[in-house]
Amino acid sequence: MSLRLIEIRAEEDQEEKIREVLEEHKIVGVHGFSMREGQLLIRGLLLSEEAEPVFDALDPDKQSGIHQVFLTNVEAVIPKIEREEEEEEPAKKTEEEEQNQINLGRFVRISKEELRNDVQGSVKLTLNFVLLFVLSAIVAGIGILKENTAIVIGAMVIAPFLGPNVALAFGTTVGDLKMVRNSLRTAVVGTLIAFGISVVWGYIDTGVSNIEHDIFIEYRDIALALTCGFAGVLSLMMGQATSLVGVMVAAALLPPLMRAGLFLGGQLWVPALNSFLIYMANIICVNIAGIVTFYLAGIRPKFWWEEKTARKHRVRSMLIWLIMLLLLAGMIFFIRKLGLS
């Protein structure tokens, strides 16, 4: 059971309304006290999956008397808090209550605001991000040329491919165009860094012709990219560390991108094209999986009047991704039929 500490800063006359909201959403414990004249601070503990409805009910943009709402992860509590459950005799339970006990169709996730905060940090184009892409490209290039799988895996550990793609899917789902633009910029810059390094490397290294070629895309490649996208978003929604899932995403993206650049630098045109098309197909699949997962998990814009715009962008993006995937798969299939691979 993951707990969150919620703090609400509001006008003093809002205390009763806030307490009603907290009690309605089964806050574990509530404590309120005046901060200064005319204002108060209320704290409470709640389960992570119950944070979003509380956030929505107490949103300062919707409630004029509420100034700020803070949410903090609680690492430990002494004594241990047990969630109180109402005990009822089986004979008194209705059919609806029995059905609600098994709710496999509901995603258990952290709040939308926590998700937004997590993904926003991964779209900032910083020196750290650039250096991670440079280092991962160098390590991956060495691993590919030496045909050493362990070295390539090491490159995947440090390659920051997961963040920008998950942020792109999140921004598309909620209609946040600023996040979409920032994540696209970050992803493009990262791709150009790794691709540029590999092209120069392929031009000066004579061992490029010995690299194993990416022949054509298979259903297993699509399944891998989709699985990585679903796993990345699910781990993020559960508030878990995404480092291992980031390795999975990098496994689908970094090797084909690096091979494409190495082949291009070595003037091996067809293998370079094959590898780059596989990279693009995997990018598309990761984003499709991310959008679908966020949507099924109930991620929506903050205000109801933004939903129409968000829906339009979501549908349009899905159509674009699907058309691009079909075109790329067709190109790879065509290349294979012509015997150019």
Top-confidence residue, 234 or 257:
257
Predicted confidence at residue 305, as pLDDT, reads 64
Top-confidence residue, 90 or 284:
284
pLDDT for 64-109, tens place per residue?
A: 778 788 878 777 776 666 655 444 444 444 444 444 444 445 566 7
Of 19-23, 106-110, 283-287, 307-311, the one with minimum mean pLDDT is: 106-110
Percent of the chain scoring above 90 in pLDDT: 13
Query: Is it the case that residue 32 has pLDDT exceeding 80?
Result: no
Query: Is it the case that residue 192 has pLDDT exceeding 90?
Result: yes
List alpha helices for 159-300, DSSP H.
162-174, 177-204, 219-237, 243-265, 269-296
Top-confidence residue, 36 or 163:
163
- Other CB atoms within 10 A of residue 132 CB: 17
Mean pLDDT computed over 129-153: 90
CATH architecture of 112-337: Up-down Bundle (1.20)
Q: Specify which of 28-32, 58-62, 264-268 reaches the highest per-range mean pLDDT.
A: 264-268
Average pLDDT, the chain: 78
Q: Are 274 and 284 in contact (CB under 8 A)?
A: no
Closest CA to 42 of 50, 54, 53, 52: 54
First to last CA, the chain: 52
Top-confidence residue, 115 or 180:
180
Top-confidence residue, 258 or 206:
258
Instruction: Categorise residue 101: left if φ over 0, alpha if ψ from -120 to 50, beta otherwise.
Output: alpha
Query: Is it the case that residue 204 has pLDDT exceeding 60?
Result: yes
Closest CA to 228 of 213, 207, 249, 242: 249
- Taking the domain 3-81, which CATH number applies? 3.30.70.120
Provide the residue count of the chain.
Answer: 341
Query: Is it the case that residue 258 has pLDDT exceeding 80?
Result: yes
Domains 3-81 and 112-337 equal at CATH topology level: no
All structural domains of the chain with their residue ranges: 3-81, 112-337
Predicted confidence at residue 88, as pLDDT, reads 44
Top-confidence residue, 26 or 246:
246
Query: Is it the case that residue 2 has pLDDT exceeding 80?
Result: no
Q: CA 73, 75, 109, 251 torsion: positive or negative?
A: positive
Predicted confidence at residue 99, as pLDDT, reads 42
Predicted confidence at residue 242, as pLDDT, reads 59
